[in-house]
Structure 1
Amino acid sequence: MLDIRFCRALQVMIRLAMAAEGESPVLSSTRFAEELGTNPSLVRKLLVPLTAGGLVVSTKGRGGGARLARPPEEITLAEIYRCAVGDKPLWASPDCEHVCETTANATRYFAGLTAEAEQAVLASLGDRTLADSVREFRSIDADSADSGFSAR
């Protein structure tokens, strides 16, 4: 099963960045839930690691909600990724019984391969900011409008 935490966290962060450009930079979990097609409880769970990581500020109660803790230009996708997935590796290393040369070295080899791939992913995500992502999203939307297709 694919882990969708980063995808959902990125959606939340992009939406907050877009809200920060408008009149109301604070969005409630109910509004998020409507926009993401899910329930407010899931949205609040998504916000917990983003808040703990210092990327989002959340206020409880009537009129409360979430907003970006820093400008989108100062938040990298690598930070969002780390907040969303924590220390969970991209792939799980196999745990093999050591019956031959292959199984004896598989766990260590795969762990190194996974660490190398994850470093490449983090380097790529570290080069992109949340502001870059908002621009890319808008470019996709503009391209869809130019072709007569609307993603909405």
Structure 2
Amino acid sequence: MENVLDIRFCRALQVMIRLAVAAEGESAVLSSTRFAEELGTNPSLVRKLLVPLAAGGLVVSTKGRGGGAKLARPAEEITLAEIYRCAVGDKPLWASPDCEHVCETTANATRYFADLTAEAEQAVLASLGDRTLADSVREFRSIDAEPGGKASAE
């Protein structure tokens, strides 16, 4: 099966932005049921999204009545690169082709695409490493303030 870009980072970032907003006011702890309602999905999927974020030290989860998830550290101290790494793990940005070596192109394709993917991934991580979760919350809010803006972090 071919690797394709997926939505894990996007969903993980949505969860983290929502937790950052929650940490500013209301309750810092949000339940998987509440997340599911807001994301239009089911609580089980939300809990699966939270597992790598908790394993990466970005989120703290508590079980039981009144339980839920909250940020493990302030939003200013969490980079988007950390969220990305937790969400996608070691899955490469693109899949390298596995070709039968019948000519110069196919003989070098796997190595070439692996190197190209590593370079692109480093560029992505460098870009995401310069931005914090707090920056993302501010960016979401500025979208809402733009004429015709419909996005909201809350």
Q: TM-score, normalised by structure 2?
A: 0.93
Structure 1 contact 144–151 (Cα < 8 Å) conserved: no
Tell me the distance in 2 between the aligned counterparts of 1:55 and 1:69: 5
The C-alpha deviation readout for 1:45-99, integer Å capped at 9, x for no partner, is 0000000000000000000000000000000000000000000000000000000
Partner of 2:7: 4
Q: What residue ranges of structure 1 are gaps of 5+ in the alignment?
A: none
Tell me the distance in 1 between the aligned counterparts of 2:59 and 2:27: 15
Give the CA RMSD over aligned residues: 2.1
Tell me the distance in 1 between the aligned counterparts of 2:153 and 2:71: 25
Cα displacement (A) at 1:145: 5.7
Go from structure 1 to structure 2 and tell me whether the alpha carbon gap of 1:151 and 1:76 turns closer, same or farther (over 3 Å shift). Answer: closer
Go from structure 1 to structure 2 and tell me whether the alpha carbon gap of 1:147 and 1:138 turns closer, same or farther (over 3 Å shift). Answer: closer
Cα displacement (A) at 1:23: 2.6
Tell me the distance in 1 between the aligned counterparts of 2:38 and 2:149: 24
Cα displacement (A) at 1:129: 0.1
Q: What residue ranges of structure 2 are gaps of 5+ in the alignment?
A: none
Q: TM-score, normalised by structure 1?
A: 0.94
The C-alpha deviation readout for 1:98-127, integer Å capped at 9, x for no partner, is 000110000001100000000000000000
Structure 1 contact 49–83 (Cα < 8 Å) conserved: yes
Counting aligned pairs with the same residue, the percent is 91
Structure 1 contact 72–129 (Cα < 8 Å) conserved: yes
Structure 2 contact 75–132 (Cα < 8 Å) conserved: yes
Go from structure 1 to structure 2 and tell me whether the alpha carbon gap of 1:46 and 1:147 turns closer, same or farther (over 3 Å shift). Answer: closer
